[in-house]
């Protein structure tokens, strides 16, 4: 169950709207700020898709949704939030401006997460004059309301306590937080994706394959393997009975063969953009982006549901988490139905209920960061 009382989303594009959907569907109130006059419509579209996906995960009904408010300023959006997620375009100057404003107006113990795909938190938190120690990168994957992973990265000024609280906050909305051990640009996920993307651009540019053929080569083969075991465990199995050592002995030397062009980027000119975009249009066979989003969501839910039944019913990988997440959401949904009965019970037993809200306690932990700051204790 969520430990977030009130969230703020700064930026409501592809990623910001995905965060809003995950938070609202967990019953959390969210205030959003986005200067785009179309923001409300766009967030509405994403919410529609997210509700549709969650209905497949929870045939018994969804929890009561949190309330969404469109704020007129960042200050208004963050004023009473204990968790703020920034998802504005990937430009350092804009991140600085927005984070400075968030920092100036958010409660001191609120955790600030940035969705950045690759900017180091150290480079962003210099703009936060009051409490830079509460900034973490919380890098999600699209669609945020379905894919559970969030990479957490701390900067030089981030306190370890803030990372711990962030881990709890993200986990409480059904996510799998992985803390990146050393701060590097693009973190782990996008380092891998960039390498594959660069190579894919070469392969299409050089006419080795079309975008559709490349996607087929991925989705009919190692893409399926990666979804359930990742890279290293798959290779361990590929080594046969002798496992990883044998796999490395056999395939390690190939790394020196001229197989890849990974260090170079093809020139990103109009010709390359036209080639890729035209082939991508053909591949879509007339399906709109929204239609493709629905297909993607249905497939992702189906994959996670299938994985949740593996491992003697305990679930495997993302499926094990999916099982826990849907169980928690179903419990939350069950609470909304007998609301009147619960309210009545509350009225007769006020003392017990008052002890319940673990919700308020958790974010307050960030206060430890304040204490630590005063005592000069910093992340190493
Ligand atoms: N798209 C992805 O797959 C993906 C995945 C993970 C992380 N990210 C990261 O998430 C962040 C957002 O990316 P996106 O793909 O959602 O971009 P996007 O362009 O879809 O959305 C950005 C939104 O920010 C709004 N915005 C612009 N200036 C603003 C301001 N001053 N205050 C508040 N809102 C403002 C825009 O109106 C827009 O709605 C980036 O840092 C990106 O690197 C993107």
Residue 256 Cα to ligand 1 midpoint, Å, equals 39
Beta bridge partners of 152: 138, 179
| Angstrom distance (rounded) from CA 154 to CA 103 | 16
Mean pLDDT per block of 10 residues along the chain (380 residues) reads 91 98 98 98 97 97 98 98 98 98 97 97 98 98 98 98 98 98 96 93 95 98 96 89 84 74 80 94 94 96 98 97 98 75 43 31 39 36
Residue 57: the pLDDT is: 97
Nearest to 111 by CA among 122, 103, 123, 119: 103
Residue 240: the pLDDT is: 84
Rounded to whole angstroms, what are the CA distances from 5 to 2, 48, 139, 164, 165?
8, 23, 21, 17, 14
| DSSP element (H, E) containing 50 | helix 39-57
Domains 6-187+366-373 and 189-286 agree in fold: no
Ligand 1 pocket: which of 9, 15, 85 to mutate (most atoms <8 Å of CB)?
A: 15
Residue 318 Cα to ligand 1 midpoint, Å, equals 26
Residue 46 Cα to ligand 1 midpoint, Å, equals 14
Ligand 1 pocket: which of 38, 39, 89 to mutate (most atoms <8 Å of CB)?
A: 89
Ligand 1 pocket: which of 88, 121, 142 to mutate (most atoms <8 Å of CB)?
A: 88
Collapse the DSSP code of 57 into the 3-class scheme (helix H, G, I; strand E, B; otherwise coil) and give the result: helix
Residues 6+ apart with CB under 8 A from 312: none
| Angstrom distance (rounded) from CA 111 to CA 103 | 10
Q: Are 32 and 71 in contact (CB under 8 A)?
A: yes
Protein residue with its CA nearest to atom 27 in ligand 1? 88
Residue 239: the pLDDT is: 85
Identify the CATH class of 189-286: mainly alpha
pTM: 0.88
Residue 372: the pLDDT is: 38
| Angstrom distance (rounded) from CA 161 to CA 163 | 5
CATH match for 6-187+366-373 among 2.30.110.10, 3.40.30.10, 3.40.50.720, 3.40.50.460: 3.40.50.720
Residue 308: the pLDDT is: 98
Residue 266: the pLDDT is: 84
Would you list the domain boundaries of the chain?
6-187+366-373, 189-286
Q: Are 193 and 139 in contact (CB under 8 A)?
A: no
| Angstrom distance (rounded) from CA 239 to CA 180 | 28
Nearest to 83 by CA among 359, 363, 357: 363
Residue 353: the pLDDT is: 32
| Angstrom distance (rounded) from CA 197 to CA 191 | 10
Nearest to 362 by CA among 123, 140, 169: 169
Residue 337: the pLDDT is: 60
Residue 265: the pLDDT is: 81
Token reading at 62 = 């969804």
| Ligand 1 neighbourhood includes 185 CB (under 6 angstroms) | no
Cα–chain center distance at 178: 11
| Ligand 1 neighbourhood includes 142 CB (under 6 angstroms) | yes
| Angstrom distance (rounded) from CA 60 to CA 305 | 15
Cα–chain center distance at 48: 19
| Ligand 1 neighbourhood includes 113 CB (under 6 angstroms) | no
Residue 14 Cα to ligand 1 midpoint, Å, equals 7
Residue position matching structure tokens 């491992």: 311
| Angstrom distance (rounded) from CA 197 to CA 215 | 11
| DSSP element (H, E) containing 319 | helix 318-336
Rounded to whole angstroms, what are the CA distances from 109 to 84, 126, 171?
11, 18, 18
């Amino acid at each position: 169950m969520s430990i977030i009382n009130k969230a703020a989303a700064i930026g409501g594009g592809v990623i910001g709207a995905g965060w809003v959907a995950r938070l609202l569907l967990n019953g959390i109130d969210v205030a959003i700020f986005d200067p785009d006059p179309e923001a409300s419509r766009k967030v509405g579209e994403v919410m529609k898709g997210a509700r549709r996906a969650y209905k497949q995960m929870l045939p018994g009904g969804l929890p009561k949704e949190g309330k969404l408010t469109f704020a007129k300023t960042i200050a208004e959006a963050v004023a009473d939030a204990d968790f703020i997620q920034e998802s504005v375009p990937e430009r350092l100057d804009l991140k600085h401006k927005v984070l400075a404003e968030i920092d100036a107006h958010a409660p001191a113990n609120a955790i600030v997460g940035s969705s950045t795909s690759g900017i180091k938190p150290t480079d962003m938190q210099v703009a936060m004059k009051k409490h830079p120690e509460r900034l973490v990168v919380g890098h999600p994957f699209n669609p945020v309301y379905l894919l559970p992973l969030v990479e957490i990265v701390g900067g030089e000024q981030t306190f370890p306590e803030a990372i711990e609280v962030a881990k709890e906050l993200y986990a409480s909305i059904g996510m799998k937080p992985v803390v990146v051990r050393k701060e590097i640009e693009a973190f782990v996920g996008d380092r891998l994706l960039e390498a594959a993307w660069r190579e894919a651009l070469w392969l299409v540019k050089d006419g080795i394959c079309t975008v559709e053929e490349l996607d087929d080569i991925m989705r009919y083969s190692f893409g399926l393997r990666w979804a359930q075991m990742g890279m290293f465990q798959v290779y361990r199995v590929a080594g046969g009975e002798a496992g990883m050592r044998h796999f490395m002995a056999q395939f390690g030397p190939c790394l020196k063969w001229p197989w890849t062009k990974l260090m170079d980027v093809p020139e990103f000119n109009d010709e390359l953009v036209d080639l890729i975009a035209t082939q991508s249009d053909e591949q879509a066979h007339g399906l709109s982006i929204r239609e493709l989003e629905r297909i993607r969501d249905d497939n992702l839910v189906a994959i996670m549901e299938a994985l949740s039944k593996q491992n003697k019913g305990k679930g495997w990988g993302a499926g094990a988490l999916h099982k826990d997440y849907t169980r928690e959401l179903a419990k939350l949904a069950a609470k909304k139905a007998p609301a009147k009965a619960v309210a009545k019970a509350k009225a007769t037993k006020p003392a017990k209920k008052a002890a319940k809200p673990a919700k308020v306690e958790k974010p307050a932990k960030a206060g430890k960061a304040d204490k630590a700051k005063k005592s000069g204790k910093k992340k190493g």
